[in-house]
Chains A and B, each alone.
Chain A
Amino acid sequence: MLSITNLHATVADKPILKGLSLSINAGEIHAIMGPNGAGKSTLGYTLAGRPGYEVTDGCVTFLGQDLLSLAPHERAAAGLFLGFQYPVEIPGVSNVQFLRESLNAQRKLRGHDPLSGADFLKLARAQADAMGMDMDMLKRPVNVGFSGGEKKRNEMVQMGIIDPKLAILDETDSGLDIDALRVVGDGINRIMRKPDKAVLLITHYQRLLDYVQPDFVHVLAGGRIVRSGGPELALELEREGYKDLAA
């Protein structure tokens, strides 16, 4: 599904990713762990196409397409979803309006008819219910006045509505209490654990992986994957830290 080969990227002329390679197949859940400053968030932003994240070498193929040649909204329509570490507050724009316009913009690019208001609300209500969010919150401005946990839940509601092929979730577990962590973990499993989908979880901690069992765990350090393994690698990291790997 996603194939990253020798990816180099700079931010403000500073090299952050230095030859990262990673392959993700449909049906797989991958976790990327690593120390602060290793380039984890940069990887997410670069794959989503954030301005200022300059790819200087390497290539990325997503579902047979050259991902790096697409604009951010085209990457979204192709099936890529970035869950933000810090979801952005947008005063004056209601969640419902934003999500309906987003979903229909994606459908349009894929050559599908737009979803009617009624059908959209039905879908939105079902996804909000599943994440324990009431519809009033969905009608409020995007993330404005939401707690850290509510913002992350809202990201999962968005993911459920948009129904992507590949979700890159950047520290979706940060700022969550134990209960919220379980709700978000269940959400990821429910929406994304399917044979035709895949997940890239970017996280610092083992605890989210208790709820969302990864098939593969990778350690990102110094802008490259320095070690890969199964779920047991996350436990080892939790026990022993990154210090032996970061060199």
Chain B
Amino acid sequence: MTNLPTRRDEAWRYADLDALARLWPLPAAEQIVVAEGDTLSRVLVQDTGGVQQINLILERGAQALFYVLNCGGDYGRVDLSVTLKQGAHFSLQAAQIGGDSQTLEIVTTVTHAEPDATSRQIVRSVLAGQATGTYLGKVAVAKGAQHTDSEQSVKAMLLDRSATANAKPELEIYADDVTCAHGCAIGELDAMAMFYLQCRGLTPADAKTLLLQAFIAEVFEGAEDGDRLQALALIKLGDLV
């Protein structure tokens, strides 16, 4: 893409276009190929703002495990375009944590090009103030990519009524023997749980932090430096409550 996108471009519909204009032109997307049978584990911490684009190709039986914490800058976008060959596996476990007027986006296109590949995406967003958090996730299953197994689980927690969450899991399927699941929920902290925790002595801020920590906990499960990510996320959550 050479021209600055507009709101008409579906993939940029919720973007912070002013911030994008300042970043334009974007650096070229990073190209990653995971060779047949190999495993790649990658941690992305986006804490300064900016647009990060990655094109990822998984050869037969390859695996890629991505752990993403998208939390910094006025505008932070992580854009992953993934192509899965036969029997490959891609997993994305991502948290977006934003406040003030931050715009945070995770955009994925996962193409199951060949049979027997699996993909798992878990995205949890915690949004306060005027922040906007967006997940656009397209799963495309090519003709002949039988036994594709894909899941998208997208949840957002709004701490203030002025925050916005956009979630668009999308399926495009040209094969007839596939399992593709997606779930999406946007909500607020459970008032009864908040009261219960406070009845046992937790301050409102500590009760909130504990519930939010639990909300994003599964995102960093299995990450090599999961504890560091969890700690970073906790600092950011602490700023919001």
Binding site for B on A (CB under 8 A): 48-51, 71-73, 75-77, 81-82, 84, 87-88, 90-93, 97-99, 101-103, 105-106, 109, 141, 158, 162
Contacts and interface: CB of A to CB of B under 8 A. Distances in A.
B200 A76 contact: yes
A48 B203 contact: no
B201 A87 contact: no
B217 A92 contact: yes
A182 to B, nearest CB: 25
A90 B211 contact: yes
Given A90-B211, A93-B211, A93-B214, A162 B193 contact: no
Contact of B201 (A73, A84, A93, A97): A73
**Of B193, B198, B200, B215, most A-chain CB atoms within 10 Å:** B200
B191 interface: yes
Given A88-B192, A101-B206, A105-B206, A71 B198 contact: yes
A106 B202 CA distance: 7
Given A71-B198, A76-B198, A98-B210, A90 B203 contact: no
B206 A90 contact: no
A90 B196 contact: yes
A88 B193 contact: yes
A41 to B, nearest CB: 13
21 contacts: A50-B195, A51-B191, A73-B199, A73-B202, A76-B199, A76-B200, A76-B201, A82-B199, A84-B196, A87-B196, A88-B193, A90-B193, A90-B197, A90-B214, A92-B218, A93-B214, A97-B210, A98-B210, A101-B210, A102-B200, A158-B200
B144 interface: no
Interface in B180-207: 190-193, 195-204, 206-207
Nearest to B196: A88
A76 B196 CA distance: 11
Contact of A92 (B195, B202, B203, B215): B215
A101 B191 contact: no
B210 to A, nearest CB: 6
Contacts of A105: 201-203, 206
A79 B217 CA distance: 32
A62 B240 CA distance: 34
Nearest to B191: A51
A98 B198 contact: no
Contacts of B201: 73, 76-77, 102-103, 105-106, 109, 162
A76 B203 CA distance: 10
